[in-house]
Structure 1
Amino acid sequence: MCSVDNQVVYKNYHAFIPIKLEVEKLCQESRKNKPSQNTEHLSVLVLGMDAVSRLNFHRQMPKTESLLRKIHAIELFGYNKVADNTFPNLIPILSGLSEKELQHTCWPKLTSVFDRCNWIWKNFSAAGYRTAFGEDAAWMGLFSYVKRGFKEQPTDYYVRPFIKTAEDDIGHKTQLNAKLCIGSKMSVAVLLDYVSNFAITMSSKDTFAFFWGTSLTHDFLNYPSLGDDLHERFLNQLLHTGSLNHTVFIFMSDHGIRWGGIRETYQGRLEERLPFVFFVFPEWFKNLYPTAIANLHKNAHRLTTPFDIYETLLDILSFKQIEKESIRKRSTELDKGKSKPRQISLFLPVHKSRTCNEAGIDPHWCTCHKSKPLPLTDAKIKNMSLILVEHLNSLLKPYGVCSQLHLAEVKSATVEYPLEHLYEKTKDQGLKDYVLVVRTTPGDALFEATVRHHIGNSSVQVVGAVSRINTYGSQSSCVTDFHMKLYCYCKSYFRTRTKL
């Protein structure tokens, strides 16, 4: 901070990455107590951009995409999200569990902290790795948005105190949910500076680092373009300093944009479910484990999920698992199994006829089907739409502060069909799935849901979660349950608006 005549003329925050002696000692002890079978070790650096579909990444960030192609990054073309927003799509990567499984295992209440959960960085820490976790847009962080976060610092290097203090003090340029700038820099640039400094400082040490950028891309379809130069420069710096020589770099998103004009289109529905993922491995690793890398290349065109990334990260801890003979045995077991596991390491072959059900993807999020538009005047569609609104009201019933919703309009309706190569595994003449988009009042919310018709008994039910595909601002500020924020229109908000 600089002052002239008692007037502050400059203020900024800076983060440093010191070598922590106590952490180094613990890493050495872990290696002694649990000697690794790996002659070489591979660090892990995950960098995320919130809410960017694979196609939007190609549209908005051509320079970064071109550089990734130049260094032979492996892109996943069939990576499908498994749930609605960031939290339930990153939890599987970090724990191997779904959100419900996490609740049953270590997070029983919304007011519980996350310290008891077995996050994957604990596996790496036990193997002698230094660990790091960080994100910008601290107020809506992965573990802190309407949640209690951690009681103890979760990783060896933890960015939240720095980012939160800087954003609270000198953060500005708020548009919708995030502060786009911290001082004279974009918030995402501050995060990228920290990540690059961390990677360079730790380039000779074994690390597991998970960083997530939310501020720039969370709210606007076209804002990723503003980060193209930043990310290209960041990646070039890591390459030129040799910081990726012993590191797998995973560059990814959690889902596509979840609201806005594009989200009301079929294209937008698909893109929301299909985020981008790239893997960059050092050459020595690709030469030592060609079978594993060959399988990853094949899996680039298979149906894959966050659960699979978790299994892949576990394999990195034990290279014995990805040696040629081990891959052969594991692949045979996988092929002969009567039931397919939900999560499969991407170093193993994922079958081309894998279904969403096998992969742990609810029908509402599945993209392995074709759609046929239906007339909105059909009485069956109107009836299903009313059942959808009844379902929403049943969810809201325990929350007395929320208004009852009413159907105002049916915006679109489609019937879903499995793709040809999946038909034999998914056909069931007794079921038919419909995707409906409706507008409700009060609040003019747009909801999208999958409604299943059981032909045998003519019953109809909503399957899985209901998507909110337009913004809701402070309409739901009266509830703290992050699921209900999508659906609730506060009675107090309604009274305030009617007085205006």
Structure 2
Amino acid sequence: MIGEKNFVHIRDGLFDTCPPYNFTFNDPRILEKLGDGEVKNCTKIEFLTIFENGRLRINQNFPNYKDFSCAGRCAFFYKNYENRVGEWCETLQKNCTYECDVIEVNCMRDGKLEYIFAHSQIFEYNRDRKQVFGSLYRETSSPKVKADRFHPDVHIMLIDSMGLFSVLRQMPETVRFLREELDAVIFEQYTRTAPNSRDNMFAGMFGEIPIDVDRRLYEAKNLPKTLQGDTCEKPVDDKNFIQFEYEDAGYKTMYAQDNYLVTFGYLQCLGVINQIATHYMRPFQLIEMINNDVWSNKPIGNRSFENDNLLEKYLRNSSLCQDPYNHALDYTAKFYNSYKDKPKMSIMWSSLAHHDELPARQADRHFVDFFLEHKEKLDESFFIFMSDHGQRFNAIADTEQGLYEMNNAAMFFLVSEKVTLQPSSNFSETKHQHIEKTFGTSWLREMPPNMSRGCRNLPISSQYCTCNYGTTLLKEHDKVWDRIHWILDDDMNAYLKEGGLEKVCEKMKVMKLTEIYKMSSMGSSSFYRVLFESVTGGIFVVQYELTKDDVLRPSPREWKRVNAYGTAADCLHSKYAEYKPMCYCS
């Protein structure tokens, strides 16, 4: 959690509260722009191989099963983009054992590879994180679990790039179940704090301020980032990741995802180089990955993608309910049912809607089925269903509502029933204590009485704020139009030059300004939100400040891209992620 010292305890008028916008998730104009997502039914079948009770066998109900010879082997985490594998073991050998979470299967017919599959389990064991991490280990201050205390499970599900409105539109059954069956609290103006997934999770899961926080619009003090040092070319295993704290306290941990990129590493950033949790699904992903998953030209380890057709026939066949998120849900379910007498903490990160929110409609039913199956466990747990930010490049990203949705991440929070119904006064009274659906800086503690609720009082840069403080659309003949148009090119190119990229990226040039809004402010400066298009087709949003000394400058210095840039910036190393939206490789 961000420390109390980073908040401002003041009440000063305009920015004391957080007025909501009047946008609606089901606005017909928005729905028309987004289009309809087709929901296709899928059918679950029994595959050629079955894994149960730690044993792999051939399914005798599979057509022509006698024609196949199959072998399995363990796949272990080795590197973020490379597995360590065990020896192949023929399924007919009764002594085959698999002391691992992920089992890779190959089956031959007439000497030809005809079937590739992967099974998963939770192989229970004890690990010493200090021994595994070696010199990168940093002890956390987590108190150890005690046998005589209640230690609820803690589970997080994160849907990448799905803002609150996207979840409401595309996953209505999931929302209904979370609200009505699990009594989850919705944080309607939950806000991202950084431009991309990696930085937002350094805030949410490492407790860091990942970027400099510019709050000049609110007449509040700017905050420097707390995330120091190189977090790309150096591993982050020694940072204070939330699951490290739980594991050090005595929890068993699990991390599952369904994206070919590792969350904190991307392609060229190292991220966490050791196995991030007690149980990690990464080896499964590296087996199931196909070329269509990859949206970068950079190589993925030693992957050749020569067997994609076999993977798409079985392990990656959507019509058979074999999408990557199905596998992540399955692995997560197995973890929920493991370690009967140990507290557990899990994170499942799904990128099923990373480029488009519509596929989430297909997944809606599968998530509800998961919640139905595990409702009893979830009722006894702390459970968070969330996103990191909204859609950044969809059909509405350059609209007023789209810009808002980009910042308005989803957050549903469920408190364990054992906590919400706990009696007060150290259990000496029988009257139940009601826990408010708090608006405080901590969700489990009372908000300070002099704490204002608004972006001014939190480590949130003004460009991400979801509070509606009001704007005024400027007419094109306003002198600010000309001034901003003249300096935009120089400001963007100066920014690229500061990053040492002036010879790598083409010079930026504005084709046209689309809209300029004057933003409400209280101080001596005026602030403007500018939407413009570059000659290379990029659509951007940036904020400018006009000071009392008549100095016009970007505030903050972030040019937010609102349409996709694909592989245009593939020449850049991942450590230059902040520059990629505005770079066109020379």
Please give the range of the TM-score, normalised by the shorter of the 2 chains.
0.7 to 0.9
2:493 to 393, 407, 412: 393
CA change 1:462–1:39 in 2 (3 A) is: same
Deviations 1:269-306 (A, max 9, x none): 111110111112232221017899633x142xx7xxxx
- Report sequence identity in percent: 22
**Which residue of 2 is the match for residue 469 of structure 1?**
562
In structure 1, what is the Cα distance between the partners aligned to 2:275 and 2:202?
Answer: 18
| RMSD of aligned Cα (Å) | 3.1
Matched, 1:40 2:150: yes
Q: Deviations over 1:231-289 (max 9, x none)?
A: 111111111xx332432110001111001220011010111110111112232221017
Query: CA 1:33–1:431 in 2, change beyond 3 Å: closer, same or farther?
Result: closer
| 3-state secondary structure, aligned to 2:391 | coil
* 2:449 paired with 1:335: yes
Equivalence for 1:15: 120
Q: Number of residue pairs matched?
A: 429
Distance 1:84 1:390 in 2: 22
Task: State the 1:126 CA deviation.
Answer: 2.2
Q: TM-score, normalised by structure 2?
A: 0.67
* Greater mean deviation of Cα atoms: 5-14 or 271-280: 5-14
Checking the alignment, whether the CA contact within 8 Å between 2:209 and 2:226 is kept in structure 1 is no
The residue aligned with 1:220 is 356
Q: 1:294 aligns with which of 432, 435, 452?
A: 435
What is the CA-CA distance between 1:466 and the residue it aligns to?
Answer: 1.8
Conserved? CA contact 1:81–1:275, under 8 Å:
yes
Q: In the alignment, what sits opposite 1:266?
A: 400
Native 8 Å contact 2:142 2:248 kept in 1: no
Tell me if the contact between 2:145 and 2:151 (Cα under 8 Å) persists in the aligned partners.
Answer: no
Are the structure 2 counterparts of residues 31 and 451 from structure 1 closer, same or farther at C-alpha, using a change threshold of 3 Å? closer
Letter in 2 for 1:183: R
1:169-318 → structure 2 map (5 Å cutoff): 171=290, 173-174=292-293, 183-184=316-317, 185-202=322-339, 204-214=341-351, 216-239=352-375, 242-288=376-422, 294-295=435-436, 297-299=437-439
Alignment partner of 1:162 is 2:296: no
Partner in structure 2 of residue 316 of structure 1: none
Higher-Rg structure is: 2
CA–CA distance in structure 2, aligned partners of residues 105 and 439 of structure 1: 32
Paired residues of 1:115 and 1:150 also in contact (CA < 8 A) = yes
Q: 1:414 aligns with which of 503, 517, 538?
A: 517
The equivalent residue for 1:69 is: 179
In the TM superposition, 1:93-172 aligns within 5 A as 93-100=204-211, 107-108=229-230, 110-139=232-261, 141-167=263-289, 171=290
Q: How does 1:430-441 map onto structure 2 within 5 Å? A: 430-441=524-535
Q: Is the 1:388–1:451 contact (alpha carbons within 8 Å) kept by the matching residues of 2?
A: no
* 1:106 CA drift (Å): 5.8
Aligned-partner residue type, residue 518 of structure 2: V
Pair 1:457-2:549 in alignment: yes
Give the Cα–Cα distance (whole angstroms) in 2 for the partners of residues 289 and 434 of structure 1: 52
Alpha-carbon distance, 1:173 to partner? 4.6
Please report how far the alpha carbon of residue 139 of structure 1 lies from its aligned counterpart in structure 2 after TM superposition: 2.3
Contact kept, 8 Å, 1:103 with 1:109, in 2: the verdict is no
1:355-370 aligned at under 5 Å gives the runs 355-368=454-467, 369-370=469-470
1:147–1:24 distance in 2 versus 1, CA, 3 Å: closer
Give yes or no for contact 2:231–2:269 (8 Å, CA) kept in 1: no
- Over 3 Å counting, the alpha-carbon distance change for 1:140 and 1:412 in structure 2 is farther
8 Å CA contact 2:187–2:412 kept in 1: the answer is yes
CA contact (8 A) 1:135 1:191 kept: yes
Higher helix proportion, which one?
A: 1
**Cα shift readout 1:58-114 (whole Å, capped 9, x = no counterpart):** 111111111112221111112111111111211112121111489865643531111
> 5+ unaligned residues in a row in structure 1: which ranges?
303-307, 313-321, 337-350, 419-426, 492-500
Unaligned runs of 5+ in 2: 1-105, 132-139, 213-223, 298-307, 425-431
Q: Which of 156-165 and 177-186 deviates more?
A: 177-186
Distance 1:92 1:203, change over 3 A: farther
Alignment-derived partner of residue 348 in structure 1 = none
TM-score (norm: length of structure 1) = 0.78
Alignment check: 8 A CA contact 2:389 2:409 kept: yes
Counterpart CA distance in 2 for 1:109 and 1:473 is: 24
Which residue in the other structure is 1:402 paired with? 505
Tell me, in whole angstroms, the C-alpha distance in 2 between the residues paired with 1:138 and 1:363: 32
**CA gap 1:258/1:103 in 2 versus in 1, 3 angstroms:** same
Among residues 158, 166, 182, which one is paired with 1:56 in the alignment? 166
1:100-149 C-alpha deviation (Å, 9 max, x unpaired):
48986564353111111111222212221112223221225333343112
